[in-house]
Amino acid sequence: MTERSARRVLLGVSGGIAAYKIPELVRLFVKEGCAVKTLLTPNAERFCAKAAIAALSGDSVYSGLFEPVFLEEGHTELAKWADVFVIAPATANTIAKLALGVSDNLLTTTFLASPSRKLIVPSMNTEMYDAAALQANLKKLSETGAEVLPPDVGDLACKTYGAGRMPDPSTIVEAFYRAAGPGTLRGKTVVVSAGASVEALDDVRVITNRSSGKMGTALARAAYRLGADVTLILGRSEVCPLPPVRIVRVDTIDSFAAAYRRFASGADYFLAAAAIGDFIPARPARGKLKRRTAELRVSFRPSPDLISDLAARGVAARPKRVIGFALETDLDERAARAKLSEKNLDAIFLNAASALGSDENRVVALAPKAVRKSFSRMSKLALSLRLFEWLDGLPIR
């Protein structure tokens, strides 16, 4: 099942306060082009109105086993209709029933009969979420193939703070694509660097570049959708990545280097999409530089080549695949292939400077032994999914 073909969502809503977010979740699914049918437990009806969900989905909302319209279709037909069965919010009570195969309401009965891929979104009090019985039930559901989206940490309805908050609807949509996708990176570790480095000129001013972080963030998002465990090392950026990805905030080249050392070792893929400055101020000024003369001279020194250092590590410390980016004002393949060789990379993605800040990109992907693939202009997320497909076909050195 591909991301493009997974478009039928069966949404099961159990009776937690987080059900108030369901109309927005339905709206986002519809915006993504999905057909959404909704099942409400009796307690869920206390927190969200069937009419609101029906108006947003333009499709059926069921809440009872003996509704005439439901009896016409039958729960087994509905169970087979879905590409992905999403349970959100999933309360402790509903999770226990799903894990044990209890079928005492419309949601649990349909779940038991469903061959569809499943996404469980727990939401409850922290003590309930941390309870051994609840964790055992989630583990059992995971072992049977369900995707479990961990809850957020935050303020809860019970006036406490901790794990148990249902993630924002946009995050659930990302998890839906992960559950629906081919899972080609499941069990893999992917580390992506993105954004721009920032170096001080004085205590007030900095030198940076025009990188928006959009390409690296799109790569991290694509890797998550494909099932990977993802770490995003993020410098200065114009974008806000989604929470399912582990985010490590950095700014200076030294902080990028420290993050590389910490997270790169043993990764299956390391994609260096960050725009790290080639030169940094040799001697940052103390205090604020004053406008005393008509001319200011600043000395620069070359910055360390982090990606070359990473690729040169021994096999035990080196990521299995190290992929770099070459940004050129024109698509100079000779220059990109020279970097590929000089830096000992497994692949390099050549893109033009015009891609900076854009939501789209075109790339020429290069690998050793004259391997080459050109990708036409498309959204950076769509391109990222294609790039991982291409990388998956490369031999591991």
Q: Distance between CA atoms of 348 and 331, rounded to whole angstroms? A: 13
Query: 3-state DSSP call for residue 223?
Result: helix
For the question of residue 34 being annotated catalytic, the response is no
The length of the chain, given as a count of residues: 397
Q: What is the 3-state secondary structure (H, E, C) of 144-178?
A: CCCEECCCEEEECCCCCEEEEECCCHHHHHHHHHH
**What ranges make up the beta strands (E) of the chain?**
8-13, 35-40, 61-62, 84-90, 117-122, 147-148, 152-155, 161-165, 189-194, 199-200, 206-207, 229-234, 246-249, 269-272, 279-281, 300-302, 322-328, 347-352, 360-367, 371-379
- Token couple for 131: 């309870």
| DSSP secondary structure, 44-55, as one string | GGGTS-HHHHHH
* Packing angle, helices 92-100 and 132-143, rounded to 10: 50
Selection from 346, 382, 174, 356 nearest residue 270 by Cα: 346
Catalytic pick among 34, 48, 158, 240: 158
Q: Distance between CA atoms of 186 and 58, rounded to whole angstroms? A: 34
Q: Distance between CA atoms of 32 and 173, rounded to whole angstroms? A: 9
Neighbours of 368 (CB within 10 A): 16
Selection from 267, 235, 269 nearest residue 250 by Cα: 235
Residues serving a catalytic function are 158
